[in-house]
Structure 1
Amino acid sequence: METPCPLSAKYEGSFAYFTVKDRLPQILTKAIDTVHRNKNTFLEAHGEEGIEAEKKALSFFSKLRNEMQTNKPILPLIDGQPDTQIWNQYLDYQKTLLSDGEEPSWFRSPWLYVECYLYRRIQEGLLLSPPISEYDVFREAKYESFFQSQPAMLSLCGHLQELKGKMNGLSNNEVREEIHRLLQVSLWGNKCDLSISGGQDNSQKTSILSSLEDFRALILVDDMESVWKILSRNRDGHTESRTRVDIVLDNAGFELVTDFVLADAMLSLNLATEVHFHGKVMPWYVSDTTKHDFDWTIQKCLAVNNKWMSKCGQTWKENLKKGRWVYHEHLFWTLPHEYCTMAEVAPDLYTELQKSDLVFFKGDLNYRKLTGDRRWDFSVPFSQALRSFHPAPLCSIRTLKADVQVGLQAGVGERLAAAEADWMISGKYGVIQFSPVV
């Protein structure tokens, strides 16, 4: 029986009341250091007004760090943005979960909520500090990760161009094997997550393609055949058929390039006719993809002094121009809500996803929001853990970096837990996990 997910749903069995982990103060401290190091940049761009804005932002962040480390109450937002009221309503909802009359605080609130709230407060600190309100405190780290991953990107782009050069002679089975290969590349690209590493270097410096066979045993749920069955419908020779694929993005940098390569291959191999990408409206979880990151990555690929990577950048730019690729932004992706509330909180987004034939959800944060970040039994079916969230057939592509996993064969989770205490958070294991429309 389908479990409902109204906004009033309680968090029974959830990861509620986690203490603030070490990486949140670490991430905030890095943001403070970044703003301070760019003092002269703000001065050159805005004069003394830029210096005053830097001081104001640093004061805000220092106060925020104190609130976090001393378990102060969660405060309402005051920046007057389109999502401010939604966040404050969600805080009111959190108050209903506490029966002792206490206020929600940093140590007494669901871990997922506290994490999201931190990134939204970082954004608030900048919004309240004009004229540096548009500054992305994580951009330098994202840029550095991109450049450090270039060798792996060059290899991947070369592979894609070779594939496209011979695609007319490929059998259906060879196309299937290639899509399986690129799905795995997209999966292991998800290891490059700066929010997990605290903003430290976590780039991909070597080619993943040569290691896929070694990694295959680390895929705990392999639903690539279910993905193939949907994608292969378009290879029947009927040009009027339409297949839309959506990708809810995770990290910029190497992972984003793996997503671009997968999207390019699906179009080139006549497995999809359009690919829609969904990114964040603000800097989020250090390395999550924004519109700036999306456009910047394509431009940098285009400008690289390598014929394969430059060719990829040119194709991707043309795909956007021709409408074969479409980029979407929506505030819902940077709200604390789990996805089973989307139809209620963001019905326009839910309706948009219903137009898709297949939606890929990349990464750990998306998985946590898909499943509500709850302590499910490992063997609970993925479709059941989604509760009422079934806009279209969907597939989670994720390396495990948080304490939630469903859809495993009986006993697998328990055996892994007995052998490796950190198996759910190390990023060593991955899933390509499918759910049909229920």
Structure 2
Amino acid sequence: MTSPEITGNPPGSFAWSVLHERHPKLIAQVRDGLPYPPATGRALDELADEITGEIQPHAGWEKYAGRSWDDVPFLWAESCFYRKLLDAVGYFAPGPWQGVDPFEPVKSAELRGPELAADLAAFATRTDDAAVESALLTASLWGNRADLGFRLSSGQADGAGALLVDESPLLWSLLDGGPVVVVADNAARELVPDLLLADRLLTTGRAGTVVLHAKPYPYYVSDALLPDVVAALRRLTESPVADAGHRLARAMRDGRLDVRAHPFSCAPWSYHRMPDDLAADFASATVTIMKGDLNYRRLVGDRRWPPTTPFAEVTAYFPGRVAALRTMKCDVAVGIPADVVDRLDASGERWRSNGAHAVIHVR
């Protein structure tokens, strides 16, 4: 079973808007975020010019060289753009800017922002066990709306949205004290509730260990790296829920919370192509929790699926039980009941990509 891969065509589509509107804004944001030298400014100018035309050859990224950015698989085009952006700012090259995250300024601002402070203050008032777990899952799900790249091209405000599919009871039933894998998405305001959820799983015994997969290097603006995990833990220890931050730090020291960063996390492919060692990691878990929109696209395949396509069918290849906590911010959609699809299609809203809807799928 398959469907066509999503590309940047036709004009006006969500993928087209990312390539033609979000990416130029992102280049400008990166340029203004850190005091880069003139050579970096010139490299960013060259990238801004390139994304208006054909893909230029790049080491390791030759597959679609010479073609329009709009005509190649969208997931590949986005990934290639971010790799070229990192090369433009000297992230991988020897020198003083090597390893400097170009997205750190916006991540840090969000981590110290009033919205997260309010989130933490509100969570500190929760005392009932059921309410705590519901709030954590909700925060981990909707925290994905804080995605910094999404904010560049969306007018959506924060606030409650519509949960189109909720299979969270099945997710909770699977958590029987075994190992749990959480594949993180964004840093800062989304990562903090992910960590609090991990703390809850560990302290209640729902999970014996939690493996948190971060990214090995900056990717898709706000994706979480190990330094972002450390920064989030530090933020927690300075908050009204400081005890959770200290527990998580101890859990990292004793191995109950293990942070990993597999290179495939930044590959321009779906998880259908995952290497054997990563598949074994997922297979060893009671359940793997995939966070966010990008991981969802990689899990089900970045394709034009009919939205009623069963989630279980498109994830049947995955090695073990898997859950997806996803705010909908692109055109990929599966597992939506037909009556819900009909209602949303009739509404005229861009429900697949406006960030106002979410799903919790479990297989």
Query: What is the SS of the residue equivalent to 2:290?
Result: strand
Percent identity of equivalent pairs: 28
> Counterparts of 2:288 and 2:151 in 1: how far apart (Å)?
27
Q: Deviations over 1:27-58 (max 9, x none)?
A: 112112224xx25xxxxxxxxxxxxxx22222
Which residues of 2 match residues 160-171 of structure 1 at below 5 A?
Answer: 162=127
Match of 1:269 in 2: 204
Task: Pick from 337, 343, 347 the counterpart of residue 269 of structure 2.
Answer: 337
- The alignment covers a number of residue pairs equal to 352
| Contact kept in structure 1, 2:156 and 2:355, CA below 8 Å | no
Question: Contact conserved, 2:154 with 2:354, CA < 8 A, in 1?
Answer: no
What secondary structure, in the 3-state scheme, does the structure 2 residue paired with 1:396 have? strand
Map of 1:326 onto structure 2: 258
Q: Go from structure 1 to structure 2 and tell me whether the alpha carbon gap of 1:426 and 1:197 turns closer, same or farther (over 3 Å shift).
A: same
Match in the other structure for 2:75: 112
* 1:300 to partner: Cα distance: 2.5
Indicate the residue corresponding to 1:223 in structure 2: 167
Say whether 1:15 aligns with 2:14.
no
Letter in 1 for 2:328: L
Letter in 2 for 1:426: N
1:134 aligns with 2:99: yes
Contiguous gaps of at least 5 residues in structure 2: 10-15
Give distance in 1, aligned partners of 2:195 and 2:143.
12
RMSD over aligned CA atoms reads: 2.3
**Separation in structure 2 between the aligned mates of residue 150 and residue 411 of structure 1, nearest angstrom:** 36
Structure 2 residue aligned with 1:376: 305
- Shift in Å, 1:229: 1.5
Query: SS of 1:60's equivalent?
Result: helix
- Displacement, 1:17? 4.1
CA distance in 2, matches of 1:73, 1:119: 13
In structure 1, the residue matched to 2:50 is: 67
Q: Secondary structure at the match of 1:190?
A: helix
User: Shift in Å at residue 128 of structure 1?
Assistant: 3.6
Letter of the structure 1 residue corresponding to residue 38 of structure 2: K
Kept in 2: contact 1:340–1:387 (CA 8 A): no
Specify the alignment match of 2:183 in structure 1.
Answer: 248
2:214 counterpart (279, 297, 303):
279
Q: Are the aligned partners of 1:27 and 1:199 in contact in 2 as well (CA < 8 Å)?
A: no
1:33 corresponds to 2:24: no
The partner residue of 1:76 within 58, 69, 74 is 58
> Partners of 2:85 and 2:183 in 1: how far apart?
23
Task: Give the distance between the partners of 1:353 and 1:371, measured in 2 at CA.
Answer: 15
- Measured after TM superposition, the shift of residue 12 of structure 1 is 5.1
C-alpha contact 2:107 2:187 (8 A) present in aligned 1: yes
Residue identity in the other structure for 1:354: A
* CA distance in structure 2 between the aligned counterparts of 1:74 and 1:418, rounded to whole angstroms: 41
Contact 1:194 1:201 in 2 (8 A): no
Q: Which amino acid aligns with 2:57?
A: L
Tell me how far 1:157 sits from its aligned partner.
4.5
Q: 1:221 and 1:74 mapped to 2: Cα distance? A: 41
Query: With structure 2 as the length reference, what TM-score do the two structures score?
Result: 0.90
For residues 105 and 12 of structure 1, the distance between their equivalents in structure 2, rounded to whole angstroms, comes to 21
Tell me what 2:12 maps to.
none
What residue in structure 1 maps to residue 345 of structure 2?
Answer: 417
Q: Which of 136, 154, 158 is 2:120 aligned to?
A: 154
Change (3 A) 1:203 1:429: closer
Q: SS of 1:360's equivalent?
A: strand
Deviation track 1:210-238 (CA, whole Å, cap 9, x = no partner) reads: x6xxx5xx11111111112211x34xxxx
| Contact 1:278–1:327 (8 Å) recurs in 2 | yes
* CA displacement at 1:299 relative to structure 2: 1.6
* Offset of residue 430 of structure 1: 0.5
Rg larger for: 1
Check 1:258–1:138 CA distance in 2 against 1; reply closer, same or farther (3 A cut).
same
For the 8 Å contact 1:157–1:261, the answer to whether it is kept is no
Q: CA deviation at 1:272?
A: 0.9
Which of 330, 335, 340 is equivalent to 1:407?
A: 335
Q: Secondary structure at the match of 1:221?
A: strand
TM-score after normalising by structure 1: 0.75
2:3–2:305: 8 Å Cα contact kept in structure 1? no
Question: Any idea what the Cα deviations from partners look like across 1:199-219, whole Å, max 9, x if unmatched?
Answer: 999997xxx8xx6xxx5xx11
